[in-house]
Amino acid sequence: MPRVGLTPALIAAEAAALSDERGFDELSLAAVAKRFGVAPPSLYKHVDGLAGLRREVSLLTVTELGDRLQSAAVGLSGPEAVRALFTAYRNYAHEHPGGYTATQRAPDPSDTEASRIYARPVQVIAAVLRGFDIPENQMVHTIRALRSAVHGFIDLEAQGGFRMPENIDESYDVLVEGFIRALERWPASATGRGTGHNTRHGTGHAADHTTPEGEN
């Protein structure tokens, strides 16, 4: 029997669940419509085609990830907060593989709502990193380094890239502890370029926070 009372939020939640099962790139209007027992055109009343559906899933999952990171780090500081962030990131990717993929897609810079939502996880990470002696003009570089470390490990793990018998969780712990040691010794000018500003965007970290280049 066709389901009634469809809303963008309900559709996004079902689409996110479907993307976890099949993969974010396999998401389709037809598959989501089938889950609700309706014809695909029925979804167009609520989402702007496939691109709109994927946008809604991305906004939902980025919000979820931001909530996870915030909850994990609350009340913590320094190394303990960093460990909590790394753990929350990886756990979310394990629990929501399709949703995690969606969080890695940068929003359209002209989409102010999406840019605002994508900025929240970045702000949580930045708040944790400010517990270390890192200059503000190095903050974006440090956030990028953290996200690259986390995502690289998660992606290799998801692709079956760790075939050696050593315990994968222990390998992740090594990554986390190594990153913490790096944070505790972060140089004043890690790039050797003086200002640490992002010349493409012009004003350093503020540009990345307001118009994230995928820095969710």
Residue 135 has phi, psi (to 5 degrees) of -60, 145
Q: What tokens does 209 get?
A: 């926070």
Give the number of other Cβ atoms within 10 Å of residue 6's Cβ. 18
Kindly indicate the confidence band of residue 216, based on its pLDDT and cuts at 50, 70 and 90: low
Q: pLDDT tens for residues 196-205?
A: 443 333 333 3
DSSP code, position 108: P
Domains of the chain (ranges; CATH) run 55-210 (1.10.357.10)
Res 122: pLDDT: 95
Residues 216, 153, 15, CA angle at the centre, nearest 5°?
50
Record the pTM. Answer: 0.83
Evaluate whether 114 touches 108 at the Cβ level (below 8 Å): yes
Res 215: pLDDT: 56
* Res. 121: pLDDT tops 70: yes
Regarding predicted confidence, which is higher, 181 or 204? 181
User: Percent helix, strand and coil across the chain, each rounded to 5?
Assistant: 70, 0, 30
One-letter amino acid for residue 21 of the chain: E
Evaluate whether 117 touches 56 at the Cβ level (below 8 Å): no
Kindly indicate the confidence band of residue 190, based on its pLDDT and cuts at 50, 70 and 90: low
CA-CA-CA-CA torsion sign (8, 147, 184, 197): negative
Q: What tokens does 215 get?
A: 């820095």
Q: Where does residue 49 fall: left (phi above 0), alpha (psi -120 to 50 degrees), or beta otherwise?
A: left
Q: pLDDT tens for residues 126-176?
A: 999 999 999 999 999 999 999 999 999 999 999 889 989 999 999 999 999
Residues 61, 209, 192, CA angle at the centre, nearest 5°?
120
Q: What tokens does 144 get?
A: 């990028």
Evaluate whether 67 touches 216 at the Cβ level (below 8 Å): no
Mean residue pLDDT of the chain comes to 87
Identify the burial level of 176 via C-beta atoms within 10 angstroms of its C-beta, where 0-12 means exposed, 13-18 middle and 19 or more buried.
Answer: buried
* Res. 10: pLDDT tops 60: yes
Q: pLDDT tens for residues 42-80?
A: 999 899 999 999 999 999 999 999 999 999 999 999 999
Evaluate whether 108 touches 163 at the Cβ level (below 8 Å): no
